Structure formats: structure tokens, C-alpha cells
Structure 1
Amino acid sequence: MIQVRKANERGRGFFGWLDSRHSFSFGNYYDPEHMGFSALRVINDDWVAPGAGFDTHGHRDMEILTYVLKGQINHKDSQGNIKALPAGEFQLMSAGSGIFHSEFNASKEEELRFLQIWIQPSAKGGTPGYQQQNIVQTAALTPVVTPDGRSGTMSIKQDATVYQLSLAIGDELNWPLTAERHYYLHLISGELQLGDVTLLPGDGAKISHEQQLIASASAPVSGLLFDLP
């Protein structure tokens, strides 16, 4: 079964300095039909004005994945990490028993754009952690996050894998799925034919009880595929 969530159906949070699109309920946006999917709780597409950002705030019991699409994030947290996160890099922050952090647009002139993704951990508590990687795309689907950190990926406290999707125009994808698991595909750019549905930037697809993911790119595609319990 494939259920498509169109980009223009997402919630929106606009605060002047921040323009965000919410694939699932978040902040002031609430939709009981879109509270998350399996362990995936949040996908926010955030645009941050030059020099602006998120002041110090706290999280706990959440795996928070950030993927920078444009610009650079300046990150600082209560574990002593002071990092720069440029476009193309991933950050995974395990909030564990509690962590405080701030995220700012490093540029005074250009907008920052990034995806903020929350995945619920398999167990609460534990020591907070920080990981950052520039993952080299080696296939149509390249793992970025895995439960065991295999092959240089970042390790997550959940039975979940996050893949970076990249297809050139005309490329086809035929990927085996496990029918008992859940999958979510988020398209960042391009145009993807998924069965009889066309996905455009910002669209998402919930995939359950399927044995194959068959798709083709009618324009160069980038996206993320989540393999979830």
C-alpha cells in the first residue's frame, strides 16, 4: 500500500525569520491524520533567514537527524560540541536523557535550508550523543544512518535505516522491501514516478505491505528513504 502526502498539503509555520513546512504534526500545526509514521515523528523543511536561528532549547528521548540542503549551520550544544555543518552534510543528535542546543544560519546574506527529522528511539534515556558525516553517494540508495553504524554510517538508537536517494534522469530503481516493515520516501528535488503516482519536490509516500519499490526518474532526483520498524 502506498499513500502519498503532497507537498502542498503539509502544515506550515511562518515566523518571519523561519518558514517551515511540516510533513507531520509539529508545533502549532496539528493534524490527527498525520502524527508520524512508525518511528518517524517529524520531517520539517526549514528555511532560515540570514543571521537568524534557533536559540538554545532542549530535547530528550529523540533521535534528531539534520540534513543541510543550502547554506551552513552553526551548531552548539550542552555536550561541548561547537560545529559547522555545511550543505550536503548530515548531523545526528541523540538527545537521550536530555540535551540543549542552538542552531544558527552562519551567513548574514543567504538563506539556510535544511531538513529536520525526528525518529523515536527504541528505548528512553541514555547518554546524549553527536555525530556528523558527509556521506559520499555510491549508489542510487546509499545508507546514511543504520542501527549499527556499519560502513561508516551514523548509528541510530532504533531499528531504522535512512538512505540518501539519487537518480539521474531516466534511471530506474527496483529495491526489495520487507512486507512486515514500513518505509517512507521524501522527495527533495526532481520528479519520480512511483507506480501510477508522480512525486514532486516536498512530496512524501508512506509504503507498507509491499515487497518491491519500483520507481523511475523523469528528472534528476534527490530524496531520502526511511526503512522503519
Structure 2
Amino acid sequence: MSQFILYKGNTRGHANHGWLDAHHSFSFANYYNPERMNFGVLRVLNDDLIDGGMGFGAHPHDNMEIITIPLAGAIAHKDSMGNTAEIKAGEIQVMSAGTGVSHSEFNALADVQLNLLQIWLFPNKKNVTPRYDQRALDVAARHNNFQQILSPNSEDDNVWIHQDAWFSLGKFDESFETEYKIKKAGNGVYAFVINGEVTIDGQTLSRRDAIGIWDTDQISFKANTADAEVLLMDVQMEL
């Protein structure tokens, strides 16, 4: 029988630094909740609002898979691998930090607030050579569909990471119903509602709510509003 845990959006950790308004789904920085450390290999899900021209100076990471999805605006990125890039809404960026990498992230625009999701997953291989990738997504392909945007497979038409994880984005019409089949036995799904209201396995979720579900091989989904938008993270439950 499937198990689940609900994470209401208004129970997330919150830090407002003026230029940065951050919500943390799991313990991060000064937000510590021993009951919210991770969901399987999913360690960080930050929902950040960053003022024009502001951002994070160069800082290091190692042995973490880092995924960044801009929801509005654009990110100016630089890293110690020599990459300089701009990642816009409708794109996805990944970094395998591996043996170590440093990077900076700033709002690339002076007059538009940047909203991004930054997600960290524990890798299934340690001390790999650091790598960077970004990809423009076909936004139309997620209409009434869970569009796969990330996988463990470099052959897939998406970004890939060192972990048995699959991410999908969907945007749905009101009353649309479907099922999502979990990609690997033993994985769980963490569903994060970007906008609108949905029902997942009988639980009603609103904007920025989330649900983690495991011990199942599929989940049921229904969009309750016309603007329903959801990110599904299909992740390994064993650390």
C-alpha cells in the first residue's frame, strides 16, 4: 500500500533578505527542521525570488547534482569550469559538482524579478568529473502531458544527471486526468505544485504545496483549475 507525506506551501522554511525572498522545502542554511531533511535522494528544493541585478557570488559545491529551473526571468551563470551562460524561463540547467566546482548566479535582468527553483540531489557516484549542461524545453509539449525534462540517460532528449531520477513538467486544462507510472521500482515521487490546484492520489494540493508518495508503482492525477502546473520528481528513496 502506498505511503505519502504532505508538505503545505505555507509550512516551508522562509527567509527574506530583502533582495532575496527564499522558501525552503527541506532544511537549508538557517532553516533546520529534523523532520524535513530530504525525500529519498532529493535533498534541496528552494523556491527563490531574486531582485533585479542581485544574486549569489561565487561559492563551492561538491558531490551533488544541482538542477536549476527558472520560472520567470533569467539567470546569469558563471562557473570554475569556464562556462558563462544565461538560463531563461523555459530552460533547465544541470551541474554535476563531483570533485568540486564553484559558481555564481545572478538575476540577469535589472527590471524583472527572477523566480527560480533550485534542486539538489545526492549523486549515485562520488567524485565524478564536474560537468555542466543546459537545455531549452519545448513548453508546448507539456500541455496535458508530463514532459520528461531530466533522466539518468545521456541518450534521452533531456538533461541527465548521476542519479536514478526522472523529472517531468506538466501544464494542464481544468478537469484533465491522467496517471503517472514510476520509472524505477523502489523510487518515490515528489510532486510540487507550481500553480493552480490539483488532486494527486486523492489529496488536494494548491499552489506551492507538495506531496511525497512511495511504495507504489503509479500515481493518479487530476487538474482542478485551468492553470494547473506541476513538477514531478521521480527519485530513488534509498540514500
* TM-score bucket (shorter structure): over 0.9
Q: Among the aligned pairs, what percent are the same residue?
A: 39
Quote the residue 1:194 is aligned against: 200
1:93 and 2:95 matched: yes
Please show how residues 157-168 of structure 1 align to structure 2 within 5 Å. Answer: 157-168=162-173
Report the TM-score, using the length of structure 1 for normalisation.
Answer: 0.96
1:130 and 2:137 matched: no
Quote the residue 1:182 is aligned against: 188
Q: Supply the distance in 1 between the matched residues of 2:37 and 2:194 (Cα, whole angstroms).
A: 21
Q: Which moved more, 1:83-92 or 1:178-187?
A: 178-187
Aligned partner (choices 22, 25, 29) of residue 23 of structure 1: 25
Change (3 A) 1:146 1:179: closer
Quote the residue 2:159 is aligned against: 154
Structure 1 portions without partners, runs of 5+: none
Change (3 A) 1:165 1:16: same
CA deviation vs aligned residue, 1:78-128 (integer Å, no higher than 9, x gap) = 101000111111000111100011001111112110000001100211111
Q: Supply the distance in 1 between the matched residues of 2:217 and 2:109 (Cα, whole angstroms).
A: 44
Aligned residues: 229
Quote the residue 1:223 is aligned against: 230
Quote the residue 2:147 is aligned against: 142
Quote the residue 1:113 is aligned against: 115
Counterpart residue identity of residue 164, structure 2 = D
Q: Which moved more, 1:176-185 or 1:36-45?
A: 176-185
CA deviation vs aligned residue, 1:138-160 (integer Å, no higher than 9, x gap) = 35111111111333111110111
Quote the residue 1:47 is aligned against: 49
Q: Supply the distance in 2 between the matched residues of 1:94 and 1:57 (Cα, whole angstroms).
A: 15
For the aligned residue pairs, the C-alpha RMSD in angstroms reads 1.3
C-alpha deviation, 1:184, in angstroms: 0.6
